[in-house]
Structure 1
Amino acid sequence: MDLHLLRTFETVARLRSFSAAARELGYTQSAVSQQIATLETDVRTRLLDRRPVAPTPAGGRLLEHAGPLLLRAAAARADLARLVTAPGARLTVGAAPLAQPPVLAGALAAVHRTHPGVALTLRVLPAAEIPALVATGELDAGVVEAATAPTDPLPLPDLAPLASRVVLESPLVVALPTDHPLARHEWLRLADLADARWLDAPTAAVPLGRLRAVLGSDGFPPAARYAGGDPAGLLRLVAAGHGLAALPAPLVAGVPGTVAVPVTVPRLVHRVELLHAADPAPSAAALATFFE
């Protein structure tokens, strides 16, 4: 299957428009239509309804394969480019909001001292987006995080041969207001909180979907949504009684109006890891060396 045609199909299906896809891809509309027709001939079935533009059942199934295939192709291209292209004078690091411990600032400062000509950029991004950006070369390194069992790897997609190393591991705690009935407990069972009021804050706390996956439960109903990426702002909502949040212990310690109670059943930790290509640029390699 021609990846060039697959990319055109994915774009038309995503935008639900031949003309919009043509503008994004830099083609004429007739060229886009011809590419879709060629792909449909190749797979011997109709992939898109034309009015309105929408994937057919077969097109929907192909879309499930298209994203990973195109991403793997981009990752392979970036991996080869690193082998044949001289490393650039840049270090672009992506970090999730909960993956920026103070040690990261020290590591970046150390790289700047050893590679003074490198242009450093730190991008704050959702954790789920970072592995793909590292794999495709848009980021030289990424700092990701997740709640996991102490001996389990982080739940990362299989995109390319990426290397990882632990930056920080902290106990996972539940942040409660000081007047909460459970605030005096020394530890908590996650299952006992499945029906509590939670704050849905996917970029500022452990996502509720992750807690459901860990427990195998449909619980953890959101009482309110926090769309920001600042854990301090989220904890102000916790202190005001709007809901609970799961966070790494260092972020909750000493925050007025809140109490951090460890989760011990199941035992969970919040792990921060550094990702980079298997054969990284010198500046990215220097960053990784800092955490050895």
Structure 2
Amino acid sequence: MDPHLLRTYVTVARLSSFSEAARDLGYTQSAVSQHIAALEQDLGTPLLTRRPVAPTAAGERLLEHAGPLLLRLDAARADVVRMAAAPAHGLTLAAAPTALGPRVLAALPTAGVTLKVPPRDEIPAAVATGTADLGLVDGLAAPSDPLRLSDVAPLTTRGAGEEPVCVLLPDAHPLARRPGLRLGDLADARWLDAPDAGLPLAQLRAAGGGHGFRPSLRYEGTDVRALTALAAAGHGLTLLPRSAATGVPGAVGVPVTAPRLVHRTELVYAGSLQGAARELAVALTSRDQGDFRF
């Protein structure tokens, strides 16, 4: 399949409009119609109904394949461009908010950095497609175990640090003075669902046996300070790396003692690193893994 036709089809299906897709892509509406007709002729089946504009059953199946295919093509282009381009002086870092601990912040160059905080599931794709030079992903893991990342392109990952995890509780919570907590004992508690600011509840369920940890409030943002304020105000519990759960006004971070879990941060990059990206990568990973070449 011609990737230009496939990209046009995905855009029409996303916008449910030939004219809107034409504006989005910078084509004429006639060209968009020709692209869709050519793709349907190539595949031998209708992919869209016209009134209203919506994918057919075959079109829905094609959409399942189209996203990963187009992402892989973008990643291949970005990889080649990286190899051919002159070394950049600046650095673009895409990071989960809870990956931006004190050690990471101290290692950032003093100038020339663009910091992006996208949804954590989008970080590998940002690195693969070249919109970020480096990525920092994080999550729950057993000590020294790697994270499980989506396979979007040939990417390299390196451990960039581990620290204990804590449940953040309001000062007046009955468990706030405990020296430690078992995660399984909190499965029926009220939790904050903040997939992009804190550690996702799906990871807690996986660590706690696959059940419980129902949300009482959902926060759709990346501001860790807003998340900790919600926890301190009693809207629900949240699990955070120790550095983020320490010193929160009105709240106490109580360590998780069972199961044995850590907050793990990993560096993600593509190809070989140069300049500021290489310097930051060395600073973040050499302590845990010894000297190695990027």
TM superposition score normalised by structure 1: 0.90
Structure 2 residues without counterparts, runs of 5 or longer: 287-294
Corresponding pairs, count: 285
One-letter amino acid matched to 1:255 = V
Tell me the distance in 1 between the aligned counterparts of 2:119 and 2:72.
Answer: 20
Q: Write out per-residue CA displacement over residues 192-242 of structure 1, whole angstroms, 9 at most, x where no aligned residue.
A: 222211112222211223323433534222212233423233222222211
Tell me the distance in 2 between the aligned counterparts of 1:150 and 1:57.
Answer: 45
Secondary structure of 1:274's partner?
A: strand
Asked if structure 2 preserves the Cα contact closer than 8 Å seen for 1:140 and 1:281, the reply is no
Is residue 257 of structure 2 the alignment partner of residue 277 of structure 1? Answer: no
Tell me the distance in 2 between the aligned counterparts of 1:55 and 1:152.
Answer: 41
Provide the residue aligned with 1:116 in structure 2: none
Give the alignment's Cα RMSD to 1 decimal: 1.9
Tell me the distance in 2 between the aligned counterparts of 1:42 and 1:71.
Answer: 22
Tell me the distance in 2 between the aligned counterparts of 1:25 and 1:143.
Answer: 31
Tell me the distance in 2 between the aligned counterparts of 1:54 and 1:218.
Answer: 36
Tell me the distance in 2 between the aligned counterparts of 1:52 and 1:152.
Answer: 49
Provide the residue aligned with 1:98 in structure 2: 98
Provide the residue aligned with 2:75 in structure 1: 75
Identity over aligned pairs, percent: 59
Secondary structure of 1:260's partner?
A: strand
Residue 73 of structure 1: how far off its partner (Å): 0.6
One-letter amino acid matched to 1:129 = E
Higher mean C-alpha deviation, range 122-131 or range 208-217: 208-217
Asked if structure 2 preserves the Cα contact closer than 8 Å seen for 1:96 and 1:143, the reply is yes
Secondary structure of 1:109's partner?
A: coil
Is residue 78 of structure 2 the alignment partner of residue 85 of structure 1? Answer: no
Q: Moved runs in structure 1, 4+ residues, more than 6 A?
A: none
Map 1:16-95; keep pairs closer than 5 Å: 16-95=16-95
Tell me the distance in 2 between the aligned counterparts of 1:186 and 1:58.
Answer: 56
Tell me the distance in 1 between the aligned counterparts of 2:28 and 2:206.
Answer: 45
Map 1:207-222; keep pairs closer than 5 Å: 207-222=200-215
Tell me the distance in 2 between the aligned counterparts of 1:101 and 1:81.
Answer: 31
Provide the residue aligned with 2:114 in structure 1: 121
Map 1:260-271; keep pairs closer than 5 Å: 260-271=253-264
Secondary structure of 2:109's partner?
A: helix
> In the alignment, which of 219, 223, 232 is matched to residue 239 of structure 1?
232
Provide the residue aligned with 1:197 in structure 2: 190
Provide the residue aligned with 1:142 in structure 2: 135
Provide the residue aligned with 1:108 in structure 2: 108
Residue 284 of structure 1: how far off its partner (Å): 1.1
Change (3 A) 1:33 1:213: farther
Residue 102 of structure 1: how far off its partner (Å): 2.0
Asked if structure 2 preserves the Cα contact closer than 8 Å seen for 1:173 and 1:262, the reply is yes
Q: Write out per-residue CA displacement over residues 58-99 of structure 1, whole angstroms, 9 at most, x where no aligned residue.
A: 111111111111001110111111222222332111222111
Tell me the distance in 2 between the aligned counterparts of 1:214 and 1:221.
Answer: 14
Is residue 178 of structure 2 the alignment partner of residue 175 of structure 1? Answer: no
Tell me the distance in 1 between the aligned counterparts of 2:209 and 2:276.
Answer: 41
Change (3 A) 1:213 1:62: farther
Secondary structure of 1:98's partner?
A: helix
Tell me the distance in 2 between the aligned counterparts of 1:121 and 1:256.
Answer: 30
Residue 50 of structure 1: how far off its partner (Å): 1.2
Asked if structure 2 preserves the Cα contact closer than 8 Å seen for 1:5 and 1:36, the reply is yes
Asked if structure 1 preserves the Cα contact closer than 8 Å seen for 2:96 and 2:138, the reply is yes
One-letter amino acid matched to 2:75 = A
Provide the residue aligned with 1:15 in structure 2: 15
Structure 1 residues without counterparts, runs of 5 or longer: 113-118
One-letter amino acid matched to 1:224 = L
Provide the residue aligned with 1:185 in structure 2: 178
Tell me the distance in 1 between the aligned counterparts of 2:246 and 2:175.
Answer: 17
Residue 171 of structure 1: how far off its partner (Å): 1.1
Asked if structure 2 preserves the Cα contact closer than 8 Å seen for 1:82 and 1:281, the reply is no
Provide the residue aligned with 1:254 in structure 2: 247
Asked if structure 2 preserves the Cα contact closer than 8 Å seen for 1:146 and 1:154, the reply is yes
Higher mean C-alpha deviation, range 182-191 or range 238-247: 182-191
Tell me the distance in 1 between the aligned counterparts of 2:8 and 2:205.
Answer: 36
Secondary structure of 2:99's partner?
A: coil
